[in-house]
């Protein structure tokens, strides 16, 4: 399927702990909630409780199906140490049909 607008999404979250980033990534893929999770180091500047904060963090780019998003969000909230984890998603408007099919395989039932 070359047009994935309603079917696939990229979920993003971040953590300040490299080991947690690895655990989150592995747990999402092992649980078939994501086909792939990429982690990238980054520097964040944000407002929290009235103050401007800075942190070295790890961005997780989570490739999944749109219908799996509620489960992905619940799973991240249960396993993330932030009081309010950054969890956002963007629709994947399209892509290589074979890659999108691979997302289906990675997030569907084992088999």
Cβ neighbours for 22, distance < 8 A, ≥ 6 positions apart: 39
Distance of CA 91 to the CA centre of its chain: 12
Per-residue pLDDT of 82-101, as tens digits, reads 999 999 999 998 999 999 99
Q: Number of helices (H) and strands (E) in the chain: give both, helices first.
A: 3, 4
Q: Which domains occur in the chain, in start order?
A: 8-107 (3.30.70.120)
The model scores a pTM over 0.85? yes
For range 32-52, the mean pLDDT: 97
Q: How far is the C-alpha of 28 from the C-alpha of 107, rounded, in Å?
A: 10
């Amino acid at each position: 399927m070359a047009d994935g607008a309603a079917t696939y999404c990229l979920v993003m979250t971040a953590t300040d702990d490299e080991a947690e980033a690895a655990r989150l990534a592995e747990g999402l893929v092992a649980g078939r909630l994501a086909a792939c999770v990429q982690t990238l180091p980054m520097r964040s500047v944000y407002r929290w409780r009235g103050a401007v904060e800075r942190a070295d963090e790890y961005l997780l780019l989570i490739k999944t199906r749109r219908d799996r998003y509620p489960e992905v969000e619940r799973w991240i909230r249960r396993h993330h140490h932030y009081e309010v984890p950054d969890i956002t998603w963007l629709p994947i408007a399209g892509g290589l049909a074979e890659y999108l099919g691979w997302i289906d395989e990675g997030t569907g039932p084992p088999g």
